[in-house]
């Protein structure tokens, strides 16, 4: 047995003994302003609860505006909007993406008019609008045509910027699309519109509930997105993707999904030192919800722990379907 005189003089447990000191020495902080709530907007019969995402609904325009006001009052500073397109308005080329009176355009205008201080992040992608569920248009061989898709995406991004979106967020993973978008935004006088690039978006199995929510799962069928989204086995490639998007004019880069890719978030933050977003995706949300409903996990403690982990890994901001709940808990 060690005597008192030989015991180490440093006892790390001293700073863990009381709540006041634990809070003072805490290295990573979590605040509502760092959270972004993804919101689904729909019309008519498409509105209502998302069965595979307990607690999440597809809002009509009035409900969307009310929810945005409530989120802002809780301390959130931005929301990310995702439209639910009726099947009859989906086409092979995703034409509804360029409709200036689309649901997405009306949603952006409505939120900015009602809650002008709230940042609006507009998803730029074609999968909510295509009859085949892919993020781009298809060529004669049935493959996603990268360059033809970029031409549509830049027009879509400009349309959303003109509607009042503060941030356009290309989530498709086409090569060169950030450069196309930045060029057209600068040319059209939208130089202050931010680009939040889904720079390292993986072909993940965690996206299922989201595809249910926007109605693209049935369109995609057994098809996949491995030809343009990243292989989950690759980490070095993420740095190449981020470097390209930053060179093309991205202001913020995203890693998606979140928790399974903490190592990628850390590498991106360390290597580039730029604003980094993480997306705690639908599958992550639904797993935690299901376990909490079974009584296997404490939802509040578990969700807040996962968000702290994302922050600790290097995420400056987190898109999470738990943003409203987390902001409520943090303010309690």
Active-site pick, 90, 112, 201, 225: 201
For residue range 262-318, list pLDDT tens digits in order: 999 999 999 999 999 999 999 999 999 999 999 999 999 999 999 999 999 999 999
| pTM for this prediction | 0.94
User: Residue 122, SS3?
Assistant: strand
What stretches of the chain adopt beta strand conformation (E)? Answer: 35-41, 48-49, 57-59, 78-83, 119-124, 167-170, 194-201, 252-256, 276-280, 317-320
Contact between 136 and 144 under an 8 Å Cβ cutoff? The reply is yes
Q: Which of 319, 99, 66 has the alpha carbon at shortest distance from 210? A: 319
Annotation: binding site for Mg(2+): 241
Q: Is 289 a catalytic residue?
A: no
What is the rounded CA–CA span in Å between residue 198 and residue 200?
6
Query: In percent, how much of the chain has pLDDT > 90?
Result: 89
For residue range 49-95, list pLDDT tens digits in order: 999 999 999 999 999 999 999 999 999 999 999 999 999 999 999 99
Q: How far is CA 271 from CA 104, 143, 192, 202, 262, in A?
A: 35, 33, 26, 19, 14
Q: Is 113 a catalytic residue?
A: no
For residue range 192-240, list pLDDT tens digits in order: 999 999 999 999 999 999 988 887 766 666 678 999 999 999 999 999 9
CATH topology of domain 30-331: TIM Barrel (3.20.20)
Residue-range domain boundaries for the chain: 30-331
Annotation: binding site: 241
Active-site pick, 90, 256, 269, 324: 256
* Cis omega (within 30 of 0) for bond into 298: no
Q: What is the pLDDT of residue 212?
A: 87
């Amino acid at each position: 047995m060690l005597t008192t005189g030989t015991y180490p003089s440093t006892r790390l447990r001293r700073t863990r003994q009381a709540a006041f000191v634990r809070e003072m020495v805490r290295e990573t902080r979590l605040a509502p302003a760092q959270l972004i709530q993804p919101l689904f907007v729909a019309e008519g019969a498409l509105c209502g609860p998302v069965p595979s995402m307990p607690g999440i609904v597809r809002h009509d325009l009035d409900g969307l505006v009310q929810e945005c006001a409530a989120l802002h009052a809780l301390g959130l500073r931005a929301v990310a909007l995702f439209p639910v397109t009726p099947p009859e308005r989906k086409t092979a080329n995703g034409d509804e993406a360029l409709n200036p009176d689309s649901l997405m355009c009306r949603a952006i205008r409505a939120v900015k008019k009602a809650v002008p201080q709230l940042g609006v992040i507009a998803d730029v992608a074609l999968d909510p609008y295509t009859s085949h569920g892919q993020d781009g248009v298809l060529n004669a061989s049935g493959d996603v045509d990268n360059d033809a898709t970029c031409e549509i995406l830049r027009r879509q991004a400009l349309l959303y910027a003109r509607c009042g979106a503060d941030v356009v967020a290309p989530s498709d993973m086409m090569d060169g699309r950030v450069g196309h978008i930045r060029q057209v935004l600068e040319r059209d006088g939208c130089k202050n519109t931010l680009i939040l690039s889904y720079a390292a978006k993986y072909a993940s199995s965690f996206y299922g509930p989201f595809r249910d929510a926007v109605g693209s799962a049935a369109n995609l069928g057994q098809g996949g997105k491995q030809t343009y989204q990243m292989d989950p086995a690759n980490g070095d490639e993420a740095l190449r993707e981020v470097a390209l998007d930053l060179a093309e004019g991205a202001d913020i880069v995203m890693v998606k999904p979140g928790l399974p890719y903490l190592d990628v978030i850390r590498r991106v933050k360390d290597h580039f030192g730029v604003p980094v977003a993480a997306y705690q995706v639908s599958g992550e949300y639904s797993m935690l919800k299901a376990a909490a409903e079974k009584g296997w996990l404490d939802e509040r403690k578990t969700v807040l722990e996962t968000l702290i982990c994302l922050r600790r890994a290097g995420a400056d901001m987190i898109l999470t379907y738990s943003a409203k709940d987390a902001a409520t808990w943090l303010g309690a």
